[in-house]
Amino acid sequence: MQRRDFVLAALGTAGMLGRPPAMSTADFEIVYPRIRTGGEVHAAFALAVLDLAMKTANVTYSIRQADVAMERRRALAELADGNSINLLWTSMDRRAESGLNVVPIPVNRGLIGYRLFVIRKDRQAQFDRVQNLADLRQLTAGQGLGWVDTDILLDAGLKVETSSTDTLFAMTRAGRIDYYPRGLIEAFPEIEAHNRIDPELTVEKRLLLKYRSDFLFYVARRNPALASTIERGFMAAYKNGSYMRLFNAHPYIQGALAQADLRERTVIELENRYLSAADRKIPEEYWMQWPIVARNR
C-alpha cells in the first residue's frame, strides 16, 4: 500500500477525511495540525495508535486536520490556546508539558530517539570516518525550530543550525549543514518523498545517534477527558496485546527497522536532560529493547 493510501486509511478509519459534519454525535472531536509532505509516515502510525486507543476505550470520535501545517513551537502554542487544534503528537519535553494534558506512553516505543542522518550522497565517505562523538562534533547538524532535539545535541557539544522543517532538506543539499538527524521511522520515507526535488540526498549508512525520546500525545488543557480516554485505551491496548500486534505488523515501522539495519551501525548515545519526572517513570515495557551495544560514545 502506498504512503498516501495509508494516511487516507488511517483518517478514514477515524471516520473523517474532510471537515466535520454540521451535527456530530461523536463522543470526541479531534483536530490536529495539517501534515507536511514526508510526514505522512509518523502520521499514519500515530493515527493508527490513536484509533486503536479510542476503540479500545469504547468511545466514538471524529477527526480532521487543521487548515495549516505548523512548526512545533506554534503547534504547542495553538494547543495551549485550544482553539484551532486539541491534539498533537510530538517529542517528549518537560518544558512543553506545562499546562497541557499528556498521555505518558511513547507512541513509537522510542524509535524517534533512534536518529539516522539525512546527508548528501557524496558525503558518505566523510561519515565513514566518524567513529565517536568527538568526530561528530566536527560536523554541523540541522534541526527544526523549537525542537527539543536541538537542545539535546547542543548539550552534547554538537554544532547545530536551526530552520523550518521544509528548509532543512535544501540546507543539507546546499552543504549549509552536514547532516539532518531524523527519527528512525521518518528518515527513509522523507527521503523518498523528497527524492524528486532532492535526488542528491540519502540516509547515512553506518551511524546511529541514540537518546531516550519519542512522540507523546499532547492534549489541550481544556480537554482532560480526551487525554484520560486516550491513556485508558492505550494502556488497555498494551495489556490485551493489540498495540504490539499493530507495532509488529505495521509496514512503516517494520520497513524502517529493516532498512536501518541497526545491528550494523555504530551507536553514539546522548543524554536527554529534558525528560520530565513522569517521562523518566515510563515503564520499560513501553520502550523497544533492541539487542545492540553502543560501540562508541
Q: What domains can be seen in the chain, in order of their start residue?
A: 3-110+214-253 (3.40.190.10)
Whole-number CA gyration radius for the chain: 19
- Between strands 207-210 and 114-120, the pairing is antiparallel
The pLDDT score that the predictor gives to residue 291 is 58
Residue whose grid cell is 551507536: 267
How far, in Å, CA of 219 to CA of 11, rounded?
18
Confidence check: pLDDT of 287 > 60: yes
Give the tens place of pLDDT for each residue, 212-223. Answer: 999 999 999 999
The pLDDT score that the predictor gives to residue 6 is 47
Give the tens place of pLDDT for each residue, 52-73. Answer: 999 999 999 999 999 999 988 8
Q: Between these two residues, 145 and 29, which has the higher pLDDT value?
A: 29
The pLDDT score that the predictor gives to residue 12 is 46
Across all residues in the chain, what is the average pLDDT? 90
Give the tens place of pLDDT for each residue, 155-207. Answer: 999 999 999 888 999 999 999 999 999 999 999 989 988 888 889 999 999 99
Closest CA to 7 of 52, 58, 48: 48
| Long-range own/partner contacts, residues 133-139 (CB < 8 A, 24 or more apart) | 133/157, 133/158, 133/268, 133/270, 133/296, 133/297, 136/207, 136/209, 136/268, 139/178, 139/179
Residue whose grid cell is 543550525: 161
The pLDDT score that the predictor gives to residue 38 is 67
Confidence check: pLDDT of 208 > 60: yes
Lowest mean pLDDT among 130-139, 155-164, 237-246, 284-293: 284-293
Residue by residue, what is the 3-state secondary structure of the chain? CCHHHHHHHHHHHHCCCCCCCCCCCCCEEEEECCCCCCCHHHHHHHHHHHHHHHHHCCCCEEEEECCCCCCHHHHHHHHHHCCCCCEEEEECCCCCCCCCEEECCCCCCCHHHEEEEEEEHHHHHHHHCCCCHHHHCCCEEEEECCCHHHHHHHHCCCEEEEECHHHHHHHHHHCCCCEEEEEHHHHHHHHHHHCCCCCCEEECCCEEEECCCCEEEEECCCCHHHHHHHHHHHHHHHHCCHHHHHHHHCHHHHHHHHHHCHHHCEEEECCCCCCCHHHHCCCHHHCCCCCCCCCCC
Give the tens place of pLDDT for each residue, 22-59. Answer: 456 789 999 999 998 767 877 999 999 999 999 999 99
Give the tens place of pLDDT for each residue, 70-125. Answer: 988 899 999 998 889 999 999 999 999 888 999 999 999 999 999 999 999 999 99
